[in-house]
Each structure stands twice: as structure tokens, then as C-alpha cells.
Amino acid sequence: WKTYWGRPDVAWFRIGGEDILLWSQRAAMTTLGTALHVAGHFADAASVREVDFRIRERIGDSEHMLIVVKGKLAGTYSNQGRFEEALSLRRDVYSGTLKLYGQESFEILREANNYAVLLKELKHFTLARSVLHKAIPVARRILGASHQITITMRTQSAATFLHNPGAPLDEIREAINTLEEIEPIARRVLGI
């Protein structure tokens, strides 16, 4: 990645308005960051993804791609235990996705789930429930009750009650009822 970072933002030729050298830089950075992350080298993956983001930002890459790279970086930070930095990025990714795609999109449902999972892990139960409370009805309407994301969000919502030591008994009962309701759906759809 250090090789690519030092190169100028000019290429030898352009195709369809796209710099070929810049495209290959972005592709190489994305591939390297993913490979390091999958191999469990999270510190190195974070460095590569940080540089990848800066390169994309510097050359004016699309808002969609900047959000994608931020989301990957948030995942890498989480795996490193850098939870506050991950949370800040997840919040940015969630709000950026909401602005870019709106509330009725697959992308916002995926990012709402990712954001809520991290919020739950950091014991921000009320905020996690709030995010899921908005997203679950949209997921049911757009994707259906049997879609993996809908099932996952409902499971996460129940978990926010079950993991919260201060949750009232009626919320715990509601969580158990939800899990009992989605269990046969999950078995059928996900094979678990």
C-alpha cells in the first residue's frame, strides 16, 4: 500500500473518464485490506483500509464507495477491539446510507443491523432497540418475515432485552416470545 500511496493522482491513460492507474490502486487496496482482514491481521488491515479511504476521498470517489470502505474499516476496528472508533464509523455509515438510499432500501436495513449489533455489544441497549424498532417493520414490508436480515434484526432486538441487566420483566417476556416465534422460521430458512 505504501507504493500506491506515494504515486501521483495521474495515470497513463483514461477509459470512459476513469483513470486506469487509480482504478487499479483502489482494486489493489481493497483486495489487500480484505485479505489481511480475513487472515486475522487486523492491525495491518486497518492501516490498509485507512489509506484506501484517504485515497478514495482524495480522488473524489463516489459517496457509495466511501461508505462501503468506512463500513469495512468499522468492522476491522471492531475486530481489533477499537470499539469507540468502530461505533463512530458505524454511525457515519448508517447516516450516510440513510441519506444516500433512504429508509426503504436494502442497504439501510443492512447498515441498521450492523449499527445495532455494535450498539448492543457496547451495551447501548436503548439506542440499539431504537434503530431496530424503526428498521424491523421496513424489513418485514420490503424483504418479508423470512428474510435473513429480518430474522437477524428480530433476534438482535430480543437480545437487547435479554443482555440488558436492567430490562423489565415484561420486556424479557416479549424477547422470549419473539425468539420462540422466529425459531421455526430460522430453522426453515437458514437451516439451523
pLDDT of residue 13: 41
Q: What is the pTM of this model?
A: 0.81
Task: Find, among 62, 4, 46, the residue nearest to 28 by Cα.
Answer: 4
Whether the predicted pLDDT of 11 surpasses 80: no
The share of the chain scoring above pLDDT 70, in percent, equals 86
Q: Phi and psi of 15, rounded to 5°?
A: -130, 120
pLDDT of residue 2: 52
The share of the chain scoring above pLDDT 90, in percent, equals 69
Rounded Cα–Cα distance for residues 188 and 185 (Å): 5
pLDDT tens figures, 107-166? 999 999 999 999 999 999 999 999 999 999 999 999 999 999 999 999 999 999 999 998
Mean per-residue pLDDT for 99-112? 95
pLDDT of residue 15: 45
> How high does pLDDT run on average in the chain?
87
Rounded Cα–Cα distance for residues 124 and 152 (Å): 18
Rounded Cα–Cα distance for residues 172 and 129 (Å): 13
Cell, residue 149 = 436480515
Q: Pseudo-torsion of CA 167, 173, 176, 181, nearest 10°?
A: -130
Q: Which residues pair with 14 in a beta bridge?
A: 19
Segment (H or E) for 18: strand 18-19
Q: Which alpha helices (H) appear in 102-168, and where do they start and end?
A: 106-121, 125-142, 148-162
Rounded Cα–Cα distance for residues 96 and 115 (Å): 12
pLDDT tens figures, 31-45? 888 888 899 999 999
Q: Which alpha helices (H) appear in the chain, and where do they start and end?
A: 2-5, 20-38, 42-59, 63-80, 83-101, 106-121, 125-142, 148-162, 169-190
Residue 46: exposure state from Cβ atoms within 10 A (0-12, 13-18, ≥19): buried
